[in-house]
A and B are shown apart, each in its own frame.
Chain A
Amino acid sequence: MSTAITSIDIDRGIGDFFYELTPSRDAGVGLTEATIDYITDVKGEPDWIRDFRKNAYRVFNNKPLPTHWAGDELKEIDFDKIRYYLASGEAPKRTWDEVPDQIKKTFERLGIPESERKFLAGVEAQFDSEAVYSNIKKAVSDQGVVFMGSTDGLKERPDLFRKWFGKVIPTGDNKFSALNSAVFSGGSFIYVPPGVKVKHPLQAYFRINAENFGQFERTLIIADEGSEVMYMEGCTAPKFTTATLHSAVVELVALPGAKIQYVTVQNWAPNVFNLVTKRGLAMEGSEIKWIDCNIGSRLTMKYPGVILKGRKARGEVISIALAGDGQHQDTGAKMVHAADETTSNIVSKSISVGKGRATYRGLVHVPKHLKGCKNNTECDALLINSTSRTDTYPAITVRGTGNSTQHEASVSQISAEQIFYMQQRGLSEGQAMSLAVNGFVNDLVRQFPMEYSVELKRLIDLEMEGSVG
């Protein structure tokens, strides 16, 4: 029998295709002030955004790459060879029939229109820099829910947009939030009025079709008092020979008593640098939950966070990362407690396959003057091969006498005896591996909406089937 588990040949069948298209709006290669003027002009944005972008561009230029802690892989990104804006110049369509044929075909292959019919309250489909389709079900918009692209949001609802935009994640938070702030395009703007509970999820799908391209969507979700909303995002790109950059900024604002759940299933091609900043601001009695799954990309750096600003606010990060050969999933969570009786929960599971590397970085901060704060952190890593790697960097600062924290971490492996046992019952080595890996993440997968958990299980199966020689 073949005991050696060799390197994996990742099946990217789902997202690995593209169409030859010539976008009529193209900011060219490289990043200068002219690039920013081009983007602002094409999008017809107000001057305050032009100024915001240019300021961000300066911040971006002045900030070094965080190689001192994040590793040298970032140096592989050549900012001068990236195209920062590509679009057709057309407004997003309200029906799939109006969407240009090849783009429509792309999303049909990814199953988006079908999911929309089945269980979504609204969908926004972004193709390179702009949304090509954006629709919200009438029953939902009748409740006053706003769901549109970021450009439309800043133009149509400046009152709401300007109040929170860039407030949860300041431009200078990190080099990539500055880059996003300079060249952002696409992403969603959502506003849920007080007391409105959106029953079905709103979904955005981010698709990269072009080579040498950077996608910089910007999402702002505001859940007003006592409202509830679930947002899901999916993403894929074809595998090109050159690196692709995806660098989003996502800001969430949960006003008192509101609940926001943000679900991500990231399945980028293995040459995508996925460097995303995600953070939520949780007011009194509100709840923000990030449910995050990272399967693809060359390097993902993503640490969804919650600033627990109001009393009894609750933050949660549930994350699964699968690092295949040649991949590095550098993920984690940030919980900043800034009010009494706030609670946070972090559960992270990672799987490293072949020469894959998974890193957990967690930051939990509870200052001395607070009372009754609680944090729970669990991070478990599963190593499939002897060449697989995992690192854990928890930074937990809990001060004061009335606060508590609990931290558990584990590293495990699937043993040869487990595989043999399952084989003896009739499973192939690949099936056995897959079952064991699914078992490892099972309790977290169940937290995903049903439609996603099925998809997740299928993706894990695909990865694991390929992981044995």
Chain B
Amino acid sequence: MSSIAIRDLKVSIDATEIIRGLDLEFHKGEVHAIMGPNGSGKSTLAKVMAGHPDYEVTGGDILLDGESILDLEPEERSRKGLFLAFQYPIEIPGVSNANFLRAALQARLPEGEELDAVEFYERLYQKMDTLEIRREFTSRSVNEGFSGGEKKRNEILQMAMLEPSYAVLDETDSGLDVDALRVVANGVNKLRSPKIGILLITHYQRLLNYIVPDFVHVMYEGRIVRSGDKELALELDSQGYDSLRPVETV
């Protein structure tokens, strides 16, 4: 039951079907990786899980701990413990990182309860140290003027602060140099625990050298076409995605 289970999911945008009957389940305590070529529907899957309004689910279901989340607003999914690290984190001018995180944590508290500011900053500084983020960062506007690496680190910082049960990391490695990748991966590894299930979405095998997955799935044309352990990622890396093209029946 402690899992996210995706059952025969079908998703369209503007009448084009992008996900075509996808099945996937990941449990708390596990790290799964989804690999696939551009256009295979990986990022669409991440956005649909989070409830992006542009996509239409035309079939199937997504269950969080056994309950469908398809009818829930994005914020309700978030409060149930689902986190999405964005491939392209959004800038929010004038809203400081500290205020944004406080608002996000406050939104999780019952009506009338106030977030403890002292405890909040203690935790925040501790997580920032782990991610090698300087203190002045708290007063900068969310993602505004951030480098690619800073944006990705900020996503992991938000994840660390919100303590989700399930996290989907969409192309977290894209645009990072090796040093930044190491810091981000280190941050994610520190968050690995039996309390969280992680789904890594990536185009390249490189990320998986740093965050070693328990399972690897290959996505192609809107479906999972192969699943295996971390060896599968290496195999893909050497042979390329073309080798996965389904064999046509003669």
Contacts and interface: CB of A to CB of B under 8 A. Distances in A.
Interface of A: 1, 3, 415-418, 420-429, 431, 435-436, 438-443
A1 B94 contact: no
Interface of B: 50-53, 73-75, 77-79, 83-84, 86, 89-95, 99-100, 103-105, 107-108, 141, 158, 162
A416 B75 contact: no
Nearest to A432: B75
B92 A1 contact: no
Contacts of B90: 415, 417-418, 420-421
A215 B108 CA distance: 46
Contact of B158 (A423, A425, A428, A442): A425
B73 A435 contact: no
Contacts of B141: 439
A440 B53 contact: no
Given A416-B53, A420-B53, A421-B86, A426 B79 contact: yes
Nearest to B89: A421
A422 B94 contact: no
Contact of A418 (B73, B78, B92): B92
B169 to A, nearest CB: 13
Nearest to A349: B94
Contacts of A416: 53
Contacts of B158: 425
Contacts of A417: 90
Given A416-B53, A428-B75, A441 B89 contact: no
Given A3-B53, A422-B100, A424-B83, 10 more contacts: A420-B50, A423-B73, A425-B107, A425-B162, A426-B105, A427-B104, A431-B107, A435-B92, A436-B95, A439-B93
Contacts of A436: 92, 95
A436 B78 CA distance: 19
A435 B100 contact: yes
Given A427-B103, A427-B107, A439-B141, A422 B92 contact: yes
A423 B78 contact: yes
Interface centre among B51, B74, B84, B95 (most CB of A within 10 A): B74
A435 B104 CA distance: 11
A425 B95 contact: no
Contact of B103 (A421, A435, A442): A435
B108 A426 contact: yes
A420 B47 CA distance: 10
Q: Is the interface of A mostly helix, strand, loop or mixed?
A: helix
B74 A440 contact: no
A337 B220 CA distance: 68
The 9 closest A-B pairs by CB, nearest first: A439-B94, A439-B95, A423-B74, A421-B90, A425-B104, A442-B94, A426-B78, A426-B107, A423-B75
Contact of A1 (B51, B86, B91): B51
A313 to B, nearest CB: 31
A33 to B, nearest CB: 53
Interface centre among B86, B90, B94, B141 (most CB of A within 10 A): B94
Contacts of A1: 51, 53, 73-74
Contacts of A427: 75, 103-104, 107
A425 B141 CA distance: 16
A426 B95 contact: no
A426 B92 contact: no
A426 B82 CA distance: 10
21 contacts: A1-B73, A417-B90, A418-B90, A418-B92, A420-B52, A420-B90, A421-B89, A422-B100, A422-B104, A423-B51, A423-B73, A423-B78, A424-B50, A425-B104, A425-B158, A426-B75, A427-B104, A428-B75, A428-B107, A429-B73, A439-B92
Contacts of B84: 424
A422 B91 CA distance: 10
Contact of A426 (B53, B93, B162): B162
Contacts of B75: 423-424, 426-429
Contacts of A439: 92-95, 141
A260 B162 CA distance: 46
A423 B74 CA distance: 6
A274 B84 CA distance: 47
A424 B78 contact: yes
A418 B94 CA distance: 13
B250 to A, nearest CB: 46
A270 B86 CA distance: 41
A419 to B, nearest CB: 9
B94 A441 contact: yes
Contacts of A429: 73, 75
B138 to A, nearest CB: 15
Contacts of B104: 422, 425-427
Nearest to B104: A425
A274 B52 CA distance: 42
A456 to B, nearest CB: 14
B130 to A, nearest CB: 19
A425 B53 CA distance: 15
B95 A421 contact: no
Contacts of A440: 93-94
Contacts of A428: 73, 75, 107
Interface centre among A415, A425, A428, A438 (most CB of B within 10 A): A425
A3 B103 CA distance: 21
Contacts of A426: 75, 78-79, 104-105, 107-108, 162
Nearest to A423: B74
Nearest to B158: A425
Contacts of B74: 1, 420, 423-424
Nearest to A412: B93
A436 B99 CA distance: 11
B89 A442 contact: no
Contacts of A418: 90-92
A450 to B, nearest CB: 16
Contacts of B53: 1, 3, 416, 420
A440 B91 CA distance: 12
A443 B86 CA distance: 27
B78 A425 contact: yes
A429 B73 CA distance: 9
Contacts of B93: 439-440
A441 B95 CA distance: 10
Contacts of B83: 424
Contacts of B103: 427, 431, 435
Nearest to B95: A439
